[in-house]
Chains A and B, each alone.
Chain A
Amino acid sequence: MSTIAALGRLRAAATGYAQPAATVRHRHLSARPMVLVPYVLAGEAFAPLAVLVGTDRDRPHLLAVPQPRDRDRRFAHAAELAGRLLPHLGAFAAETETIERRGDDPYERSLDAPQVLVPTAGGIEYLRLLGRSTRFRRTDGEFAVPAGVPLLGRWSTWLADRAGVPGSSVLLAMTDLLTQAWATGQSAMEDGDLASLLAWIDPPAGRRGDEAAREAEGGPTAGPATDPAFDERLVPLITAFDEAVAAERESDEDAARGERERRAEQAIRDALAAELMPTWDRMWRGVDLLSALPAGASVAGRWEADRASYSFFAADLADPESRPQPRVPGAISAAAQLAGRERAQARLDAEQVRDDPLLMAAVRLAGEAFRGELIAVDAERMVTEPGKKTARPRPLLVFRTEDEPLFGPGTELACVERPDAKARVLVNEPGRMELELFGGMGGGKAPKPGSVPERGEVLCWTSLIAEFRRSPDWPAVEDTPWTHGGPPPEPGSEPDSATATGPEPDDDALEEWS
């Protein structure tokens, strides 16, 4: 935790009111987010119980499974959820813009992309497991499922994968969004509870945040794990439903058929609605609070990456040859994923502190940035660097600062206010900093007009620099080297147990449910 973050938490604890942890919102917030509040049955690896879903706060749709252990009902539920989600997820693919790329073919990028908001990180894991359990289902043969089910699985997998990319905004947990923006006086673990977190940030009129948070404790949980007290109320309802189904199977009276079962199911739905609705309302309250924050300057740039990923995925889905995402990534794609996420993390770290003076304050306190007034400029300074034949413009900038940056001579710095400028530390003395400008001045013999800061400017310089690194050229899958197990076996070929050292071939089709 940075010093500023710790200070925010201490202040919140001392005053009873949440404190700002950021001055801007660092994630994209869609004008029409899809809110999804999932519940799963306790004690099962993954048995969906209910979902409250929708894009209109006044019209939540409750999808519930009256007997979550019944696998046919699970897939019926998945199909129903697909009916709600798929039209929204696919709706943004049609409108695109053409993006030119240097050294590569241009591609089509959608103008907007869907966004799914879940209450907690558990909701992201829910979508990953939903994807895992549905994307390999077949729509024909013995265990056929409705066509939307495997498609929903592929979308859920894309959303959950993308949520692991630092800075992505297609699938976000409300607790993460809120803790990025506000510091509370409770522990990080307690912040994982949406009810008490929101109570800290947005207490009822006349109440302090800490009081409101204590009152919110013990209410319905934000899921996907249910409250044990709720489980105890749910068990007799599910038992009643099972009995209704069994009784009606034996009954001959056509008229009464379905009525008892319908009533039992309605009782379960009512109980779930009562339990889920407080979270639904909190989700939209959270959306309101976050919309009131201005977006960080680089949020749109990161959203472009989400839009590109969305377009590529949508195009892949449309390809008849395309297959569901594999159960585990191969050696090459695992390495490419890790490298891609590390690039995204580096970009996010550098962009967030540039966008937000409060985050930058933490960096300044750690000695990795300073803010100061330019008190002297030598714009004419020229230097012939070792190994070079001609002198290049290297303007000298002298700053007065009260910060205490820990830069040694030669440290390269980037400027928040002048994103193109690059400078190197010459002298770092208490209160005074001498820099040499070496980038962002154009390629000419003299600096481009306006590229050298002027006396009196107050600028912030940091050693946290987002370097653009190209993705490496990963080998083709069939060229996987012997050090990493060699090329994986062709799909469908006989697995050779003596030499197979990679993951065993996918035997999912043999499983009734996985």
Chain B
Amino acid sequence: MTTAHTRAPQGDPAALAAAATAAVLADLGSGAHRGVVVDSPPGAGKSTLVVRAAGELAASGERLMIVAQTNNQVDDLLVRLAEEHPHLPVGRLSATGYRLPPALVGTSVSNAEKAEALDACAVVVATAAKWALVQDRRWPWAIVDEAYQMRSDALLLVARLFDRALFVGDPGQLDPFATVDTSRWHSLSYDPSQSAVVVLRRHNPDLPVHRLPVSWRLPASAAPLVSDAFYPFTPFRSGTGPGERSLRFEAAREHDAYDTVVDVAAGSGWGLLELPARFTGAADEEAVRAVATLAARLLARGGTAVGERTPAGVPLDASRIAIGVSHREQRARVESALRDLGATEIVVDTANRLQGREFDVTVVLHPLSGRRDATEFHLETGRLCVLASRHRHACLVVARAGIPELLDAHPTANPVHLGVPVSFPDGWEANQAVLAELGRHRVSLTP
């Protein structure tokens, strides 16, 4: 299942990445295009690119607005901007009641509720929702971050504010969603439920599209699988080679399935903790307990992560571990189970909200675990892609047995709409590819 569709780029990763960034900046500087699109696989230095592009545009004297999708993303960007460009006057446009996080207090970042108050700033950053309220201002340049997560109707509200824009995002992540049936708009080129980039490119097919070729986050054990399964036509490679990162744990004490799967993942970068096949609801108590116990065990085993950034090794504490689930109810139940185990600092979140985040080790509850059917929601490629690409060292998946059989019983049956570009890759095939790899790192758990 892991035959490469297209070969991953070869050569020195740092040189590859630098060449890609230089090409993006050259296209921006040429002024020949109204927009430039940059597709970035997980952890390929998207934020670094945004910060660099912001610096270059500001240096050439152009005022710049940056559109992010969530307040967390805005704050993360501001921290990076303040670090890289400490003298650049940067503004943050925010809602009433917002206060700058501690990391930004005392930097060149100023906060205001009205755009007028930030006219002196070279760069102004805000969420798309906040930008939608701005009147009577126009910027020569905009950077739209996480543009594949942005719905095109949100872009419609902010596009009047800029002349030209750089759109940056990860096409493999979760598509934006709507809470109502959207079929009536499906064949429209400006379908408001589609992502901003899809609509932008359908109306502006000539815009240059760049791709970042190196994932600095994913380890050598994960990049080929994630690239093949989720980015079959736009492959990328890992920034580190095999053996450049390692995960060490203290000796096992319990010698149970949890210890075994932790050791398997430490050696291979992947682990599958498999519960007996059973049909369950979203709130599968056994699976929830297994997820929480496994995360707590990772902590208890006193791990050390060694990598190119931390050659001396760094303790695997709770801030370096995350748990990914599919439903809000699962998140609440895992959090509750973690409270019982005294491991409350571990981040638990749904795939939607883990987008853009990075951890050393992740524990994932498989979206299809215990299900009787494979719906569009659970098969969505982006969901699995997000969950399988948040880690720098290892990803441990908890699932009930029988998912390959479930997939075989539910081949993709999504309607094909006329005039709608086919989205890649097929969620069914991506799921099979990931499962095939996980199957090599399987540990059975009998509760």
A residues with a Cβ closer than 8 A to B are 3, 164, 166, 328-329, 331-332, 334-335, 337-339, 341-342, 344-346, 366-368, 386-387, 406-408, 472-475, 479-486, 501-503
Contacts and interface: CB of A to CB of B under 8 A. Distances in A.
A157 B143 CA distance: 40
Nearest to B161: A481
A472 B157 contact: yes
Contacts of B192: 331, 334-335, 337-339
Given A329-B188, A367-B332, A338 B160 contact: no
B274 interface: no
Contacts of B99: 386-387
B437 interface: no
| 4 A-B pairs with least C-beta separation | A406-B332, A481-B159, A335-B153, A331-B190
Nearest to A346: B179
A345 B182 CA distance: 13
B153 A339 contact: yes
A413 to B, nearest CB: 14
Contacts of A339: 153, 192
Interface in B273-326: 281, 283
B36 interface: no
B179 A484 contact: no
Nearest to A340: B180
Contacts of B332: 367, 406-408
A483 B200 contact: yes
Given A329-B188, A334-B191, A502-B189, A342 B157 contact: no
A342 B189 contact: no
B336 interface: yes
Given A166-B180, A367-B332, A367-B333, A483 B185 contact: no
B180 A338 contact: yes
A367 B181 CA distance: 26
Nearest to B163: A482
Nearest to A6: B281
Contacts of A501: 189, 202-203
B190 to A, nearest CB: 4
Contacts of B159: 481-484
Interface string B154-171: 011101100001000000
25 contacts: A3-B281, A164-B180, A328-B188, A331-B192, A334-B191, A335-B153, A344-B180, A406-B336, A408-B332, A472-B132, A473-B157, A474-B156, A474-B157, A475-B160, A479-B160, A481-B156, A481-B160, A483-B35, A483-B155, A483-B159, A484-B156, A484-B203, A486-B203, A501-B203, A503-B188
B199 interface: yes
Contact of A406 (B181, B200, B281, B335): B335
Interface in B123-168: 132, 152-153, 155-157, 159-160, 165
A62 B83 CA distance: 77
B193 interface: yes
Interface in B185-243: 185, 188-193, 196, 199-200, 202-204
A332 B99 CA distance: 34
Interface residues of B, number: 38
B178 A342 contact: yes
B253 interface: no
Given A483-B159, A484-B203, A366 B178 contact: no
Nearest to B153: A335
B184 interface: yes
Contacts, number: 105
Nearest to A349: B179
Given A387-B99, A407-B332, A483-B156, 16 more contacts: A331-B190, A334-B153, A338-B178, A338-B180, A406-B332, A472-B157, A473-B132, A482-B203, A483-B35, A483-B199, A483-B203, A484-B152, A486-B203, A501-B202, A502-B190, A503-B189
Contacts of A474: 156-157
A387 B101 CA distance: 12
Nearest to B282: A366
Nearest to B329: A366
Nearest to B333: A406
A485 B188 CA distance: 11
Contact of B180 (A329, A342, A368): A342
Contact of B185 (A334, A345, A407, A486): A334
Contact of A342 (B179, B196, B202, B336): B179
A3 B282 CA distance: 11
Contacts of A483: 35, 155-156, 159, 165, 196, 199-200, 203-204
B2 to A, nearest CB: 37
A484 to B, nearest CB: 5
B34 interface: yes
A38 B329 CA distance: 43
Interface in B331-360: 332-333, 335-336
Contacts of A387: 99
Contacts of B152: 335, 484
B157 A334 contact: no
A3 B283 CA distance: 11
Contacts of A479: 160
A343 to B, nearest CB: 10
Contacts of A342: 178-180
Nearest to B190: A331
Q: Which of A331, A387, A474, A503 is packed against the most chain B CB atoms within 10 Å?
A: A331
Contacts of A328: 188
Contacts of B35: 483
B305 to A, nearest CB: 28
Contacts of A331: 156, 188, 190, 192
A342 B188 CA distance: 19
B328 to A, nearest CB: 8
Contacts of B184: 164
Q: Which of A3, A338, A485 is packed against the most chain B CB atoms within 10 Å?
A: A338
A112 to B, nearest CB: 27
Nearest to B180: A341
A335 B189 contact: no
Given A366-B329, A367-B329, A387-B99, A335 B188 contact: no
Contact of B34 (A164, A406, A482): A482
Contacts of A338: 153, 178, 180, 182, 185, 192-193
A350 to B, nearest CB: 12
Contacts of B181: 164
Contacts of B203: 482-486, 501
A482 B200 CA distance: 8
Q: Which of A331, A339, A341, A484 is packed against the most chain B CB atoms within 10 Å?
A: A484
A338 B165 CA distance: 25
A332 B156 contact: yes
A468 B413 CA distance: 37
A338 B333 CA distance: 32
Contacts of B34: 482
A334 B188 CA distance: 9
Nearest to A481: B159
B160 to A, nearest CB: 6
Contacts of B182: 338
Contacts of A366: 283, 329
Nearest to B335: A408
A408 B328 CA distance: 12
Contacts of B281: 3
A167 B160 CA distance: 33
B180 to A, nearest CB: 4
A406 B329 contact: yes
Contacts of B188: 328-329, 331, 334, 503
A233 B159 CA distance: 59
A403 to B, nearest CB: 13
A42 B402 CA distance: 43
